[in-house]
């Protein structure tokens, strides 16, 4: 992925509007083969930090799904998604999403 596209994707992941963040996360999963190892790990780190403070359920689900897909590339390690540990699993997440996050953090 060209640098310009990567920066645009990073900006959209961090956008103020939850719809933009959700759409960006969905697009990430559509382009998994386009990322260099460094880009994949950077996107996972940004998505994890965003998900840790996400208030919108739809955006959170898309962010978590994108992280899981990026992990499947083999370029994302547990240290890249460590911000997910900031989510208080039992209090903040529906059961199906809680299981998703727990599985990711357990590797």
Q: How high is the pLDDT of residue 93?
A: 67
pLDDT surpasses 90 at 67 = yes
Q: Rounded distance, CA 3 to CA 13, Å?
A: 15
Mean per-residue pLDDT of the chain: 88
Q: Could you give the maximum distance between any two Cα atoms of the chain, in Å? A: 39
Task: Answer whether 94's CB lies under 8 Å from 102's CB.
Answer: no
Comparison of pLDDT for 107 and 66, the residue scoring more: 66
Q: Summarize the chain as % helix, strand, coil (round to 5).
A: 75, 0, 25
Q: How high is the pLDDT of residue 80?
A: 93
pLDDT digits (tens, 9 = 90+) for 31-42: 988 999 999 999
Q: Rounded distance, CA 58 to CA 26, Å?
A: 11
Q: What is the extent of the structural domain holding 72?
A: 3-106
pLDDT surpasses 90 at 6 = yes
Q: Rounded distance, CA 35 to CA 75, Å?
A: 10
Q: Domain count of the chain?
A: 1
């Amino acid at each position: 992925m060209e640098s310009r596209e990567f920066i645009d994707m990073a900006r959209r992941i961090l956008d103020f509007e939850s719809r933009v963040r959700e759409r960006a996360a969905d697009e990430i999963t559509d382009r998994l083969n386009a990322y260099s190892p460094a880009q994949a790990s950077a996107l996972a780190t940004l998505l994890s930090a965003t998900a840790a403070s996400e208030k919108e359920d739809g955006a959170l689900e898309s962010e978590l799904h994108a992280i899981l897909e990026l992990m499947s590339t083999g370029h994302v390690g547990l240290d890249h998604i460590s911000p997910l540990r900031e989510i208080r699993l039992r209090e903040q997440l529906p059961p199906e999403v809680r299981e998703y996050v727990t599985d990711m953090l357990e590797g």
